Structures are given as C-alpha cells and as structure tokens.
Amino acid sequence: MKAAILEKPGVLKIKEIDIPKIKSDEILLKVQVASICNATDNHIYHGDFDGFHDFYPQILGHEVAGEAIEIGADVKDIKLGDIIALYTPRGAFCEYTIVRPTDDLWVRLPESIPLRTRSLVEMFHGAYVSAVHPAQIKPHETVLIVGQGPLGLTAAATAKLTAHQVLTVDVHEFRVKKSLEIGADASYNRSEMTTDQIVEAVRSQTGGKGADVVVMCISEDRSAERDAFDMALKSLKMRGRITGLFVDAKGIENNHRLNPRLLLRKEATFAHTLQVYGSQADELKAFQFAVDKVAEGKINFDAFVTHEIGFDELEYGLDLCVNHMNDVIKVVLYPSR
C-alpha cells in the first residue's frame, strides 16, 4: 500500500509498504479520506511534538475515515462495510490502517455525511468531547471562544447547538469571517482590536456581565502582546467557567502568559474532560452526539474544507496550514489521488 512515512523531522517520503495484518481484536480500515491536523501534524513533521507521536519513522496523520473491510474474530460491534472515523495513533496518511475498537475512540458514520468531511468529525473529540461538553453550557448562556482555527470553529459550531450566543476571537480576518459563516453571533479580529476593545464588546453583548463560558482554542498565542488568556479572563463573568484545548509541543509554554490574579479574582471554575465522563462509553456517546448533528445538517463541516489534495502533495498541504492561515481551514487528502 501507499503510505506517507516521516522518516525523521523534515524528511517525508511516499512509499509502498505491506498492508498491515490484523489481530483477532482489530479491524482493517480502507482509508477513504484523511485530513491534516494543522498544529499536531506540523509539530510532528518539524520534530517539536512533545508526546506520544514523538518517534520516527512513523506514518503521519491521525484524522481518518474509511470502510471496515476485514474484521477480527473477537470484534463484535463493527460489521463489514461500516464507515468509521477515528483518531488513530497508527497513521492516517496511508491506504489502509488498523482500528482497535476497544482502545480507539471511533464513531460509525452514516453514508449521508459527504466523503470530503468524513475525517473532519475526528475533531469533535478534541473540540466537543474534551472542551465544549465538559463546560455544560446552558441555553441562556454566552460562550466566548478564543481561536478560530479548525478546532475553534468546531467548538463554536457545537457550542451554538446549545448556547444563547457564541462570540469568537481570532487574529486572521479570514477566520473571523468563517466563524460568522458557520453561525457565530459576533466575531472579533484581535489584529484590529485591542484587548480592552474586545473585552468591552463582549460585555456590551452580554449586558455588562461578561461571558458565562470561555473556551480557549489556541495552540500558541499569535497576538503581539501574548495576552490571549488575560483577555479571556477579563471577558469572563464572575464565577464563570473556562475550558479549552492544548497541543503537546516543545516550548509552547513560551508563547503564552497569564496573570494568575485575574484567575483568582474571577473565582473561575476550570471545566475539564475527566470531570464529566465516568467511562470511555460516556466519551463515545458525546462523540456520537456531535457526529449525528453533522448528519442532521446542523453543523456545516463543508464550509471548513478549503483544500483537497493527494498524498503526493502532503508537504504542500502542511505548509498551507502554518504559513497561509488567511487562506486555509482544513486540508483533506485522498489516497486515490
């Protein structure tokens, strides 16, 4: 099979390798589509990821969707022909990959979800399961989401399913406009507004009290002042809730600053994944809920896809994600191209 193998940082080669053999508790997935994770895949490519993907060589990628074409004897909850999407630690940019149903967080997709958006549902695990759902948003509440990259947009779209209003912030005008396109009630450009102006705008939008919930969706702070967390806390109401995402990258802590006095003064509650899930089954239930909203047409993932490429164009796609942020949201890849 064809696979995009990162032999070492910066050295990516498309190679022919053997189709993996499955064990009794695994399935073989024929990859239909995969997508670039703008932050993580680039950190792995450049050699500064700090976590479980920090090894070489490896098949790059983890956002994937495909068809179950071979099923181990001990697998009971998946049948031949099922369309599955998941986060895979075994590589997504290849023609076939292995799924371990008891270990992997996977969801079954209805065929009504278009091919070009199928792998994007993996983002729900980070944006919805890990951030938005743990915040336990109420229908009368206002949510502020800082960062409108792919995960921030996903968080905005899922928060909008429940919240009274969703407000967003980004430093790129393209993403500010995209946020409004997918349903945000207001979106602020940090490159054109000061922190104080954004805080005042949030307060004005909320009758002076501030946002009930803040979701931080930035892997690094790209504002000149590095004050995204301070801005978020200033925008939060007293005893509000804050949650968010992070990327395991070396040195990423140097891209942020936070005044702890703001956190303490606001008496903010930190809402985290582990506080609301008792088991993997609970996480999968939340994961499936978000996927069902795509199938119902309540989340417009089609608007996220800005580029479609083949595996041979992968390095071009990776570059798009970090050096052309005013043109790109999601890059999807097809093994057949």
Q: Could you state, in order of their start, the residue ranges of all structural domains in the chain?
A: 2-123+279-334, 137-270
d(C-alpha 160, C-alpha 72), whole Å: 40
CATH class of segment(s) 137-270: alpha beta
pLDDT tens, position by position, 83-95: 999 999 999 999 9
- Cβ proximity of 333 and 33 under 8 Å: yes
d(C-alpha 156, C-alpha 283), whole Å: 19
CATH class of segment(s) 2-123+279-334: alpha beta
Give how far Cα 72 sits from Cα of 62, 79, 101, 280, Å.
22, 10, 10, 21
What's residue 309's pLDDT? 97
- What are the 10-residue block averages of pLDDT along the chain, 337 residues in total? 96 97 97 96 88 84 98 95 96 97 92 95 93 94 97 97 98 97 97 96 97 92 82 96 79 68 84 75 90 94 97 96 95 92
